[in-house]
Chain A
Amino acid sequence: DTEVTQTPKHLVMGMTNKKSLKCEQHMGHRAMYWYKQKAKKPPELMFVYSYEKLSINESVPSRFSPECPNSSLLNLHLHALQPEDSALYLCASSEGSPFYEQYFGPGTRLTVT
């Protein structure tokens, strides 16, 4: 199984809402990533979890809160977002170091109204 799954596929939320994005992989990978991708741009790294510990936070605003409950799951909790946060949010995983390729999920298309 080389699949990374993400739910939901689409999400529309108001600026006062609280929602969560979910990501799951069953490849035994020990590194998991959240990226934000705006239209016609490359993915921008937000967070990296390595062996279930947060290892990289790319100065992301606190309205985005990541969580790694176990080695297969990754969540991104959203609160008080701004319209400019509307984007495709991609989850990825890799075996355990940057030397290995990343496997990406299909993404969650987020719209903040």
Chain B
Amino acid sequence: AQSVTQLDSQVPVFEEAPVELRCNYSSSVSVYLFWYVQYPNQGLQLLLKYLSGSTLVKGINGFEAEFNKSQTSFHLRKPSVHISDTAEYFCAVSDYTGGFKTIFGAGTRLFVKA
């Protein structure tokens, strides 16, 4: 069965600094990987996804992630963050063995300080 580990529960960072949110997964088969963002009192919104192809994936709001199969990682990065990026970020994985089930990581709270 697949699982997802987000290594940091909280990441404080100053505005305009770069940030990396870490995600590791485990699965015995090929996986499909996602990053979602949740702003306060809202649902989740897809930032980016990796299904196949290029291991560097670009998403919305200037975010990108790199799929590393040997490290079983899918870290999310942004070169310069804004106050408005303050939110909860969830890494998620699905594979065909889980049916329609997507497994979410515990989440990382990104807090951008002025």
Interface residues of A (CB under 8 A from B): 4, 31, 33, 40-43, 45, 48, 50, 55-56, 90, 92, 94, 97-99, 101-107, 109
Counting residue pairs across A and B whose Cβ atoms lie within 8 Å, the total is: 63
Q: Can you list 9 contacts pairing A with B, beta carbon distance less than 8 Å?
A: A40-B107, A45-B102, A48-B99, A92-B43, A92-B44, A98-B102, A99-B51, A99-B94, A107-B42
- Asked if B46 CB lies within 8 Å of chain A CBs, one says yes
Band of interface residues on B: 20 to 34
Cβ-defined partner of A102 (8 Å) among B102, B105, B106, B107: B102
Tell me, in angstroms, the Cα distance from A4 to B46 when the chains sit together.
13
B105 lies within 8 A of A55 (CB): no
- Asked if B15 CB lies within 8 Å of chain A CBs, one says no
A103: chain B residues within 8 A (beta carbon): 46
